[in-house]
Amino acid sequence: MNLNELVALDAGSVMATYGRHPVAFVRGEGSRLYDSEGREYLDFLTGLAVCSLGHAHPEVAEAIATQARTLLHVSNLYYNDVQPLLAARLDGLLGAQGPGGVPRGDGGRVFFANSGAEANECAIKLARRYGQRHGGADRFHVVSALNSFHGRTLSALAATGQPAKQATFQPLPSGFSQVPYGDLDALRAEADRLGSGLAAVLLEAVQAEGGVNVAPPGYLEGVRELCDDTGALLAIDEVQTGLGRTGRWFGFEHFDIAPDVVTLAKALGNGMPIGACWAKAEVAKAFEAGDHATTFGGQPLAARAALTTLEVMERERVPERAARAGARLAEGLAQTPGVSSVRGLGLLLAAELASGDAKAAAAACLEQGLIVNAVTGTALRFAPSLLVSEEEIDEALAVVGKALASGH
C-alpha cells in the first residue's frame, strides 16, 4: 500500500491518539529506515530510544525467530526456561554492586511487564506494599518531580509532573505530588509535610521526555540521604536512560547513589515490548504471591529477545560506545550554527535552538532524511542507535546544519 492508502486506512480504523508525521515506515536495518515510497532515512530517534542496537539486529531477529518456533508463551502460573536467566542477567548489572563497587547486599529481584508505564506501576505498587509493611496503612504517598514523565496509565500519569497531560483525566489516583526537579529544599519541605506518609521518591536521572534535563550535581545524592533519613524508598525511572544510553549502564551510575527500585523498558527488547522493575531483595520481599501480576510479563518470546539484546550489549560494550559517540555528536551539535547549547548524557542529547521552532526544524530534518524530534518547543532530541558509526553521526550533523540554515 502507498502512503495515501495507509493514511486513509489508519484514519478509518485506528483511534486518533497520535499526531503522526506524513511517512509510513515499512523496513529497517541498523540506523536506517525505509518508507512505503522507497525513501531512506537515518534514524536518530530509534523509536524513542527503543532500538538501541539498531533496526532488525540480526542476532536479536534470529533469537526471536528461533524462540517463536520453540515456545511463544506460557502462563506465569508455571516456570519457563528464559525468564529467570533474564532476571539474573539484569540483577548482575543492577544488583551486584553499588557506588564504588560496594556490594548491594544479596542483590535484587525482578518483575517483568510489557512497557515502561507498567514497570512504573509495579514500582508504585511495591512502594505502597513496602510502606504498609514498614510504617502502616497511611504510608503510601509517592513524590516525583515537575516535568517528569513516568507513563500514561492512571497511576503512572498521576506520578508524571506534566499537568497538561493530566488535565483531561482528572480525577487521578490520590497519593501523588510533584516538586521542582533539582530542588532539594522543595523536596525536603514536601517530605516534612507528608511525614510518615512518604513511601517513595520517584525520579529520573535525566528527565528524557521533559526536555533531556540532567540531574544537577549533588541532587540525587541529597535525595538518597533524605530517603535514608525518612525510611522512604528511592525509585529511579531508567525507562529511557537505562542500558547504556547515557554512557553508563544506567543513568543513576553518573551519581553516587544506589537506588532501592529501578524501572526499565524501551531498549531492553530492542523493539520487542518488555519492561522490568528491579528492587533490592529486602524491598522485593514486600510482595507476596497474588499482590501483582500480568499475563504477558516475562513470557518466553519477549524474554528471549531481551536476553539476546543484553548479550549483544555486553559484548559490544555499549556504554563505552555511547560515551564516545555521544561526545562526538554533542561536539558537532555545539559547533552547528543555530544551536545555542547542548545538554544530556551519552547518546541522549538535546540541542537547544538559538531561534526558531523545534517542530519545524524536526520536520525539515525529516524531509531531508533524518529522524529526530522536538522534545520541547525549542529543542531537538537525539537518541540514535548505540552502535551508530562516526560516519552516520557526521551525516546527521550535516543534515541538521542544512535544516537550521534553511531558517528552521
Helix (H) or strand (E) holding 340: strand 339-345
Buried b (16+ CB within 10 A) or exposed e, 195-214: eebbbbbbbbbbbbbbbbbb
Helix (H) or strand (E) holding 65: helix 58-70
Q: Give yes or no: 237 in active site.
A: yes
Spot the catalytic one: 43, 91, 237, 260: 237
Report the candidate in 179, 229, 185 with the shortest Cα–Cα distance to residue 203: 179
First-to-final CA distance of the chain: 32
Helix (H) or strand (E) holding 110: strand 108-113
Q: How far apart are CA 361 and CA 403, in angstroms?
A: 6
Q: Give yes or no: 285 in active site.
A: no
Q: How far apart are CA 211 and CA 352, in angstroms?
A: 10
Strand-pairing partners, residue 379, are 352, 376
Whether the Cβ atoms of residue 127 and residue 279 lie closer than 8 Å to each other: no
Interior angle at CA 229, CA 227 and CA 230, nearest 5: 65
Spot the catalytic one: 44, 140, 149, 255: 149
Q: How far apart are CA 58 and CA 27, in angstroms?
A: 14
Q: Give yes or no: 112 in active site.
A: no
DSSP states of 262-292: EEE-GGGGTTS--EEEEEEHHHHTT--TTSS
Whether the Cβ atoms of residue 247 and residue 325 lie closer than 8 Å to each other: no
- For 81, 183, 232, 298, 311, the CA distances from 72, given in Å and listed in that order, are 12, 46, 39, 11, 20
For residue 111, the SS3 value is strand
Spot the catalytic one: 43, 140, 266, 382: 266
- The residues annotated as belonging to the active site are 149, 237, 266
